[in-house]
Amino acid sequence: MPDAKAVLKTVKPAKKETKKEVKRENKYKLVIVESPAKAKTIGKYLGRGYHVEASNGHIRDLPKSQMGVDVENDFEPKYITIRGRGDVLGKIRKEAKNASGVLLATDPDREGEAISWHLASILGVDPADKCRVTFQEITKKAVKAAITSPRPIDMSLVDAQQARRVLDRLVGYNISPLLWAKVRKGLSAGRVQSVAARIIVDREDEIDAFVPEEYWDISAEAVADGQKLKLRLDTVGGVKAKIKNEAEARSAEAIINGGEYKVASQKRGEKHKNPAPPFTTSSLQQEASRKLRFSTAKTMQIAQTLYEGVDLKEEGTQGLISYMRTDSVRVSDDALDAVRERIRDKYGDAYLPEKAIVYKGRKDAQDAHEAVRPTEISRAPESIKESLTKDQFNLYKLIYLRFLASQMNPALFETMTAEIVSDRIVFRFYSEKKTFAGFTACYEEGSDEEAPVVDNKMPRLEPGIAVTLSEIQSEQHFTAPPPRFTEASLVRALEEKGIGRPSTYAPTISTIIARGYVLREKSRLVPTELGRMVTSMMCQYFKDIVDEKFTSDMESKLDHVEDSEIPWKNVIRGFYGSFSEDLKVAEETIEKIPEVPVVSDVRCENCGAMMVYKNGRFGKFLACPNFPNCRNTKPVLVFIETPCPTCGKRLVEKISRKGGKFFACEGYPECQFAAFDYPVTDRCGECGSPMVLKENRKGQRFHVCMNEKCRHRDLLEDMQDINEAELDATAGEEI
C-alpha cells in the first residue's frame, strides 16, 4: 500500500499546474495609453479580456544632460529611458509578458505615434504588426471600433516627430549655452519660441515708432418726419470728408449749418451673417481667451480632461469632446446627422439648413482629425453641470454651443442706407435690424476688435422728406498704434504665418513667459528688456531661426515627411549646414554682455554691502554684490495705494509663475488676499465684498465685485450699457 504522504506530494504539483492552465486560458490583451485618466475611462469600456495601462507620456527621449544627437553619424538620435519611469516601464513589461497581445492606443498625432513606436521597441513588438489603434474620441463605440481594427505603426508620422525633435534639440542645445555664456544663465532659444518672441518684440517696436495723426469725426442729431436719426458726415463739396484738424472741423460745421436738408435716396436690403465653423485648436484657444479669459495653457489642460473622460453621475466615466489637437474643421457624417437632429428638435426646421454645412479648412491644414466637438450632442451642458468643475463646464459649453451653431441657418438682418443732402453736404444714415436669429439663437463668435455701433431703428425715410439738424457733434480723435498681442491674437498670428502646429501654441507661449522674455499686462503680452536683447542677438546672428518664412517652410517640410514625400534626415541635413556656420560665427564674434549693477539704498544685513538690482524670472529683485560669498537676496516690493481689504496692510504688485501681474497682501501667508485686477477701496454695495478695477476693449472702466456669487458692477465715468459677455471675467489664472 503506497505511503499517504507520498501520494499528497504527487498531487500538489498537479494542482499548481491547473492554476497555470487557468491563467493561460484567461490571458488578456494589454492596451497601453498615455494617461491614467484615459486608462481608467477606456478600461471601463473594454471590460474583461483587456487590461489597460498608462505610460504617463513618453517612456524614451533624448537625454537632458547632453545633445543626444550624433551629428557625425548622420544625426542619429540617442534615445534613453526617461529618468523616473523605471517603475512604470517595469509594470508595463510585466503585463506585456503575461498578455496574449499588445495594442498601442496613444494619442492620434505625431507625438502619440512616436510614443507607440518607442513602446513597441522596448516591448519587442514589430511596428509592422497590427498593434496600433487610434480613435478621435473616447466613447465606448469609438474605442470598441478601434480595438477591432488595429493597424501597423505609421513610420512616416514617427519620422516627422523625430525630425521635429532633432531639429529642436540642435537649435536649443547649441544656442542656449551660447546665451548662458554671453548673457546669463537660464536663458533658451528655440525654433518656434524665438520666432514668437520676435513677433512680440517687432510689434512693440511698431508701437514705439508709431506717430499718432489727428482726425475728426462729425455727426449730427436730426429729425425727419418726427423720427430721430443719428447721421454721419460723408462728403463735403463732393469730396470724401477727411477732416484732419479743428480748423477744418469748424469750417465744415459752418458749411453744414448753412444748408437745408432732405432725404435724397433710400436703399433697403438684407444681410446674412453666417455661423463660424466648429473649433480647431487655434480657434478654441482664441475664443476661450476672449470669452473665458483662459490662457492657452489652461484651455488645453481643461480640454485634455474633457477628452480623456469625466465621471458623470448617471453615466459613469465619459469622454466629452473629440481630440483637441487639430487644425481641421471636418466633421464625421454620424456627428452631422446627430447635430442636425438636435437642431430640429430644439429650434425647429426654420433653423436647419437643407443640407449639412461643409466648411473648408486652411490650405496647409493636416486634416488628420475632426474638429473639436462634443462626443454626444444629446449631452447638453446644463444636464451634466453638477459633474463638472466650473472651468470644465464653461469650456464644454463653449465647444458644445459652437458646434451646434455651426450647423444652423444664417442670421438675417434687414438693412437700410439713406443719403441726407444739402447743396454741398452729404450725410449718411445706416441701420440694420435682426429679422431672424438663426445660429445667434445659441451662439455668437467673439472678436478682438471693437464692434461698430449700429443703429437698429428702421425709420421711414422716403426721398424728398425734409430733415432738420438739431445738433452737430465734432469729435477729435488720434490714430492708434497697433495693439499689443493677447495670447489669442498671437495664436492667430502664428497660425496665419504657418509657424508651429496646434500642439505647439500653448507650450510656446508658456516658454517665452517662463524665460522672462515676455510679461502679461492686462492680458496683453509685453516684451521685457531681456526679451528685446535676446531677440536682437538672434536677429543678428541667427537670421534663419527667427525668420517667419524660414520657420514656416520648415513646418511644410515636416508635413512632407509625414506624407512620406521626403526622408526625415534630408530635412536635418539641409538645415544643419548653414546653421553650424552661423553658430561658429556667433561663438567667435559675440562678446560677453556685462551686467552693470544698479546699486540700491538697501544694505545687506548679512555683510553690510549695498545691495544691487537684478533681473529674474519673476521681475526685479535685490541681491548682495558679494555673491557667491554672500547669497542674500530680497524681493523688490512695489506697493500700491489701496490697502488690503482683508487686514488693512499694504498690497504688493507681484509677478506669478506664469508671468502674469497680480496684487497680494504683504502679510502673506497670514493674510492670503490676492487679485489679478487692480483692487480699489470701494466695497460692493450688494454684498460688501472687495472690488477691483476692470476695463473693457472700448476703454470703459468699471468696478466689479470679487465675490463670484455676486459679481455686482458699478460703471464709471458716465458709461452707457456694456455687453454682459464683455464684462464676465470671472475666470482667471491660478497664482
Active site residues: 323
Choose among 692, 734, 729: nearest CA to 293.
729
Go through 203-215 and write b for each residue having 16 or more CB atoms within 10 A of its CB, e for each that does not.
Answer: bbeeeeeeeeeeb
Provide φ and ψ at 493, rounded to 5°: -65, -45
The set of long-range contacts for 604-611, using a CB threshold of 8 Å and a minimum separation of 24, is: 604/630, 604/632, 605/632, 606/630, 606/632, 607/632
Distances (CA, A) of 517 to 166, 467, 536: 24, 58, 12
Choose among 64, 70, 69: nearest CA to 84.
64
Choose among 503, 116, 156: nearest CA to 323.
503
Q: For residue 453, what is its C-alpha cell? A: 455701433
Q: E strand or H helix at 549, and its extent?
A: helix 548-562
Cα 585 from Cα 573, distance rounded (Å): 19
Distances (CA, A) of 65 to 61, 188, 508, 631: 12, 15, 22, 27
Residue 186: left if φ>0, alpha if ψ -120 to 50, beta else—which one?
A: left
Go through 230-269 and write b for each residue having 16 or more CB atoms within 10 A of its CB, e for each that does not.
Answer: bbebbebeeeebebeeeebbeebbeebeeeebebbebeee
- Given a contact cutoff of 8 angstroms between Cβ atoms, the answer to whether 306 and 392 are in contact is yes
Cα 405 from Cα 438, distance rounded (Å): 8
- Given a contact cutoff of 8 angstroms between Cβ atoms, the answer to whether 103 and 363 are in contact is no
- Given a contact cutoff of 8 angstroms between Cβ atoms, the answer to whether 508 and 193 are in contact is yes
Q: For residue 240, what is its C-alpha cell? A: 470724401
The amino acid at residue 712 is: H
For cell 463735403, the residue is 236
Q: For residue 262, what is its C-alpha cell? A: 432732405
- Given a contact cutoff of 8 angstroms between Cβ atoms, the answer to whether 310 and 320 are in contact is yes
Q: For residue 666, what is its C-alpha cell? A: 504683504
- β-pairing verdict for 29-33 and 101-104: parallel
Choose among 165, 112, 193: nearest CA to 507.
193
DSSP string, 173-214: HHHHHHHHHHT-TT----TTHHHHHHHHHHHHHHHHH----E
Distances (CA, A) of 493 to 194, 263, 497: 14, 44, 6
Distances (CA, A) of 273 to 270, 438, 446: 10, 9, 14
Residue 368 has, within 13 A of its CA and on its CB side, a CA count of 20
* CB within 8 Å of 583: residues ≥ 6 apart: 174, 175, 178, 542
Q: What is the DSSP secondary structure assignment for residue 49, as one 8-state letter?
A: T
Q: For residue 73, what is its C-alpha cell? A: 553619424
